[in-house]
Amino acid sequence: MKILGIETSCDETAAAVVVTTDDAAKPWVVQSNIIASQTDIHREWGGVVPELASRQHLRDICGVVDRALETAHCTWADIDGLAVTQGPGLVGALLVGVSYAKAAALSLGKPIVPVHHLAGHIESIWLEHGPIPLPAVVLVVSGGHTSLYEVPAPGVYRLVGRTRDDAAGEAFDKVARLLGLGYPGGPVVDRRAKLGNDQAVALPRPRFTGPSRSKPHLEGMTEFSFSGLKSAAVRLLQTRQAHGPLSEQETNDVCASFQRVVVETLVDRTFAAAAALGARSVGISGGVSANSRLRADALTRGQAEGLPVFVPSLSLSTDNAAMIAAAGLRRFEHGAVSSLTFNADPALRMP
């Protein structure tokens, strides 16, 4: 089966073609994965401007899909079905992709499935590595989401914890702005952290004593919070910058120390959940999974605990359409085909 995936939830216009194979170890293969990024457009505003994002999606969507088909050496006639991000995300941006995909499905008589954006991030692990040992605990961490899911069977996602306030990626962007490092903040903080001392600055880690909202027996071990850390970083920088701008080394030290606390929190809670739930593997996905320290620390922790860790390649970590196509294939495998009555849902919940 050959699926065209379309992703427009935020500021990347993406289309991809993914096909099934007869290889049980690698059941899905990416034939194309095209992304038109809007980073340069939004950088001057310090973050994504929804109206600008929607307008750029309108400009890019046709060309991106055409290029995805061309790169995959196929035509519309070769496509067996479509998958499109229904939500969550920016409603105007989502509407561009949903409207385009529904129009294509209607005009060509092709089946279509709406996909939850986070399901796409989870399935990016399977797309990269093939089947992984189950049950698994998967951390989805990005600019808008920090969530832990238990995956007991293929295509089944059970929320076991999430952030109570800010997402990890949002905290990275905030600290980068305060340091004058620009947007997006995660990649530049990661680069500068490699040059700094991660013990130079004392920053707090969140502590939870109450039960988890999703799984009370986990006693809060799967919950995240980054607002306190972000506020502590703000106060620290305001105090230090009151005496003049930070030196290059001081900036590197702040980046390294901040990144250490975020990564330690993510890794500790992910492996605590895996132990409590009897997971046979751990997955990490989403834009922040591209962070070099998160990847390294998670792999080291997994080796120490005898638990395999699976992370998608960098091209499948950030928002892309190949992961949406993969999630669509998973739904098609389960017999899910949608009518054309679905609409974009910026607050869509995982089914």
Reported pTM:
0.93
- What CA–CA distance (Å, rounded) separates 101 from 111? 10
The CA–CA distances, whole Å, from 229 to 224, 225, 226 equal: 11, 8, 5
| The pLDDT of residue 120 | 98
pLDDT per residue as tens digits for the range 42-93: 988 888 999 999 999 999 999 999 999 999 999 999 999 999 999 999 999 9
Q: Give the mean pLDDT of 177-187.
A: 90
Architecture of the 133-307 domain: 2-Layer Sandwich (3.30)
259 contacts: CB under 8 Å, gap ≥ 6: 172, 189, 190, 193, 198, 291, 293
The CA–CA distances, whole Å, from 173 to 88, 102, 188, 274 equal: 20, 34, 9, 28
Q: Give the mean pLDDT of 129-148.
A: 95
Question: Would you call 231 helix, strand, or coil by DSSP?
Answer: helix
Considering the chain, what is the average pLDDT of its residues? 93
pLDDT per residue as tens digits for the range 90-109: 999 999 999 999 999 999 99
In the chain, where are the structural domains located? 2-121+317-333, 133-307
9 contacts: CB under 8 Å, gap ≥ 6: 85, 87, 88, 89, 90, 93, 94, 97, 117, 319
| The pLDDT of residue 311 | 98
CATH 3.30.420.40 assigned to 2-121+317-333: yes
Range in 147-156, 202-211, 307-316 with the lowest mean pLDDT: 202-211
Alpha carbon distance, N-terminus to C-terminus of the chain: 24
Same fold, 2-121+317-333 and 133-307: yes
